[in-house]
Chains A and B, each alone.
Chain A
Amino acid sequence: GAVVSQHPSWVICKSGTSVKIECRSLDFQATTMFWYRQFPKQSLMLMATSNEGSKATYEQGVEKDKFLINHASLTLSTLTVTSAHPEDSSFYICSAPPELRTNYGYTFGSGTRLTVV
C-alpha cells in the first residue's frame, strides 16, 4: 500500500520562529496532499490542499501567509508555520488521496506534534 512519511514527529519551538513540516510519498506519486490540524479532543480540520506545480488552496479562515505550503515535486509537500505562536500548538497531519484504479483509501502521515513556547 501507499506510504506517506512525515517529519518531524514532534517539535518544540520558540514564539516568533518558523517550523517546517515535511510529508513524502515513498512508493507513489502524490500530486495532491491535504494538510490537517487537530487540537486536543477535537476533530481533524482541513487547512489546505497542496497541488504539485501550482498554488495551494486554503480553507476559509486559514491564513495563507502564516501557513506556507509548497508542493515542489510529486513526492514532497511541506507546511511551514511562520512566526509561530502558542495558539499554533497543535497536531498537524498530512494525507494523500487514493490513487486511481486502486481500492486503497487515503494515506496519512504519522503526524507532527508542534509545541510553541
Chain B
Amino acid sequence: GENVEQHPSTLSVQEGDSAVIKCTYSDSASNYFPWYKQELGKRPQLIIDIRSNVGEKKDQRIAVTLNKTAKHFSLHITETQPEDSAVYFCAASYQGFQKLVFGTGTRLLVSP
C-alpha cells in the first residue's frame, strides 16, 4: 500500500545551522508533497508544499526539493532558530488530491 518513510526521527542542531529532513514515497502517481509543523495537541501547520511538476521551491529560510525519479523529497531549513523546534511531518497525496499519507515525523531541536 501507500507508504511514506521519513528520516531522521530526531534531529538536534545548533542555532544558525541548517537542518535537512528526508522522505521517500512509494506511489509514483503521487503529485503533491506538503510539509507540516505540528505543536503538541494542535493541528498540523503547512509550512511549504511542492507539486510534482516542480523540482524545488523556496520560501525564505525553508526550501523543499523533489526527485520524482528517486521518489524522494527533502525539507531544508537554513539559519535555524530555537523557535523552529517542533515536530515536522512530510506527506504525500495519493490518487490525485485524495488520500494524504503522512511520514513518521521528525523531532527537531534547535539549541541556542
A binds B: yes
A residues at B contact (CB < 8 Å):
32, 34, 36, 42-46, 49, 60, 91, 93, 95, 97-98, 105-106, 108-111, 113
B78 within 8 Å of A by Cβ? no
Q: How far is the CA of A42 from the CA of B98 in the complex (A)?
A: 22
Q: How far is the CB of B59 from chain A (nearest CB, A)?
A: 13
B57 within 8 Å of A by Cβ? no
Count of chain B residues with Cβ under 8 Å from any Cβ of A?
Answer: 20
Q: How far is the CA of A45 from the CA of B102 in the complex (A)?
A: 7
Q: How far is the CA of A50 from the CA of B89 in the complex (A)?
A: 23
Q: How far is the CB of A114 from chain B (nearest CB, A)?
A: 12
Secondary structure at the B interface, as helix, strand, loop or mixed, is loop
B41 within 8 Å of A by Cβ? yes
B61 within 8 Å of A by Cβ? no
Residues A43 and B42 in contact in the complex (CB < 8 Å), given A34-B100, A95-B100, A105-B49: no
Query: Do A43 and B34 touch (CB < 8 A)?
Result: no
Query: Do A97 and B100 touch (CB < 8 A)?
Result: yes
Query: Do B43 and A43 touch (CB < 8 A)?
Result: no
B101 within 8 Å of A by Cβ? yes
Query: Do A111 and B34 touch (CB < 8 A)?
Result: no
Q: How far is the CB of B77 from chain A (nearest CB, A)?
A: 19
Q: How far is the CA of A89 from the CA of B24 in the complex (A)?
A: 30
Instruction: Give which listed residue, B1, B41, B99, B104, contacts A43 with CB less than 8 A.
Output: B104
B8 within 8 Å of A by Cβ? no
Query: Do A49 and B43 touch (CB < 8 A)?
Result: no
Instruction: Give which listed residue, A46, A95, A111, contacts B42 with CB less than 8 A.
Output: A111
